[in-house]
Amino acid sequence: MRRWILALDISHWTLTLDVRLMEQPEAVREAFEQEFGRFARFRGAESAAFDGLRLADVETTLRELSDLRTRHTGKKSALANLKKQIGRAAAEERAQFAQAVQQLEARIAEEIAKVERALQDTAARLRTERERLDVTLPGRRIRRGHVHPINLIRQRLEDIFVAMGYTVEDGPEIENDFYNFTALNIPESHPARSPQDTFYTTDGFALRSQTSTVQIHAMQRRQPPLRVIAPGKVFRRDTPDATHNPMFFQIEGLVVDRGISMAHLKGTVTEFLRRLFGTDVRTRFRPSYFPFTEPSAEFDFSCFKCGGTGCALCKQSGWIELGGSGMVHPNVLRAAGVDPAEFSGFAFGFGIDRMCILLYDLDDIRLLFENDVRFLEQFD
Ligand code: DAH
């Protein structure tokens, strides 16, 4: 008796369970449809659903769709759970239940696939559009840069000296007292040391005021015999005007060997100027004073414009002043560790910007430092 009641009970319980079981696929479908609703507008590939969508939007939607698929068909989904229940369903209802679950699964898969295809087609179309190449468009011309006029002249000067057997030497733009002054035999009291003339850093270094500093570096580095030129920037506390700029360029020359004399200096400077301006050019040396040379001379060359008869460029003098020169002072040789009893040398230096102004017939040095491309473009 007791057993019968229990059996009835169980069958009643099974029945209610089965009714609910048959309702479940419908509930799962509804949950899916609800979430899937926002993707439904993408069902047809050709529809206006994609108008205005950017590729990034389409790609994001595709990712979201893939998340939705995982949620609704993945291992932990309500659908997977339904599939597990097929085996447990009451025998008389199992087939019907299984069929409902299968249909549901197919429907979900198909809905997702339809939208996915449409989105993928659209993404492909947008990608092609982005990569579209109009081969009939004119090419874009590459804008070529220009070598700065100062560098054009520097290269010309270097070429001449290199052809004459010189090496191009470099040195720092920030120097200590030794290289900028002491080794160059510039006395403590010399006005060039004054902060009114030379720029100093707060910790006492000088921005080099002349490329002559490289003479010392070159001798220390190479030891004679040597033949070097050193082009580079120099700095002086000048107010900019048509002929001055606080930063400008110089080129230094130094030859140290046994038996070097003033004749070598004059021959070298003259030969250099002949190669630059032509064989008609004449040079002249005027006695002068520089602390690092003895004897010292400034040198001029005959005006390349009028040939020496006098014109506006040479201020009617027929001569153009170029630079300073002389025989390297024994104190300078000694400071660089060179024995003046064995070696002698000559040195010279002049402004590259000044040479640039002369050669290009410019009337203001500041043009070279303003970096106005309308000016710079003219030097090709
Ligand atoms: N350094 C000098 C200046 O800036 C130019 C100069 C003079 C350089 C005589 C030399 C030299 O090498 O021997 O005015």
For the record, the structure tokens of 293 come out as 């040379």
How far away, in angstroms, is 289 Cα from ligand 1 center? Answer: 10
For the record, the structure tokens of 106 come out as 């197919």
- Probe target for ligand 1 pocket from 179, 186, 210, with the most ligand atoms within 8 Å of CB: 210
Which residue bears the tokens 């206006």?
Answer: 48
For the record, the structure tokens of 353 come out as 């910007």
Radius of gyration of the chain (CA): 45
Which protein residues are within 6 Å of ligand 1, measured from CB? 210, 212, 252, 290, 293, 323-326, 347-349
The DSSP annotation for 308-363 comes to TS--TTTTTSSEEEEEEEEEEPHHHHHHTT--TTT-EEEEEEEEHHHHHHHHHT-S
Contact 197, 209 (CB under 8 A): yes
How far away, in angstroms, is 178 Cα from ligand 1 center? Answer: 17
The DSSP annotation for 37-72 comes to GGGGGGSSTTSGGGTT--HHHHHHHHHHHHHHHHHH
User: For residue 355, which phi and psi values (nearest 5 degrees)?
Assistant: -65, -40
Ligand 1 atom closest to residue 253's alpha carbon, by position in its atom list: 12
3-state secondary structure of 283: strand
Q: For residue 75, what are the CA distances in angstroms to 67, 80, 84, 104, 105?
A: 13, 6, 10, 16, 13
User: For residue 133, which phi and psi values (nearest 5 degrees)?
Assistant: -125, 120
Contact 314, 286 (CB under 8 A): no
For the record, the structure tokens of 155 come out as 């290269």
For the record, the structure tokens of 141 come out as 């011309």
For the record, the structure tokens of 280 come out as 């008609």
pLDDT at 93: 85
pLDDT at 45: 58
pLDDT at 299: 98
**Which residue puts its alpha carbon closest to atom 10 of ligand 1?**
348
pLDDT at 157: 98
How far away, in angstroms, is 367 Cα from ligand 1 center? Answer: 25
Rounded Cα–Cα distance for residues 301 and 284 (Å): 6
Sequential pLDDT tens for the chain (380 residues)? 444 444 445 545 554 555 578 889 999 999 999 999 988 888 875 656 777 889 999 999 999 999 999 999 999 999 999 999 898 888 888 889 999 999 999 999 999 999 999 899 889 888 988 888 888 989 888 888 889 999 999 999 999 999 999 999 999 999 999 999 999 999 998 888 888 899 999 999 999 999 999 999 999 999 999 999 999 999 999 999 999 999 999 999 999 999 999 999 999 999 999 999 999 999 999 999 999 999 999 999 999 999 999 999 899 999 999 999 999 999 999 999 999 999 999 999 999 999 999 999 999 999 999 999 899 989 87
Helix, strand, coil content of the chain in percent (nearest 5): 50, 15, 35
Ligand 1 atom closest to residue 211's alpha carbon, by position in its atom list: 1
Contact 265, 346 (CB under 8 A): yes
* Burial tier of 369 (Cβ tally within 10 Å: 0-12, 13-18, 19+): middle
Q: For residue 134, what are the CA distances in angstroms to 126, 138, 140?
A: 16, 9, 13
pLDDT at 355: 95
How far away, in angstroms, is 107 Cα from ligand 1 center? Answer: 94
Rounded Cα–Cα distance for residues 245 and 233 (Å): 11
Contact 367, 169 (CB under 8 A): no
Contact 232, 209 (CB under 8 A): no
Adjacent-strand bridge partners of 248: 234
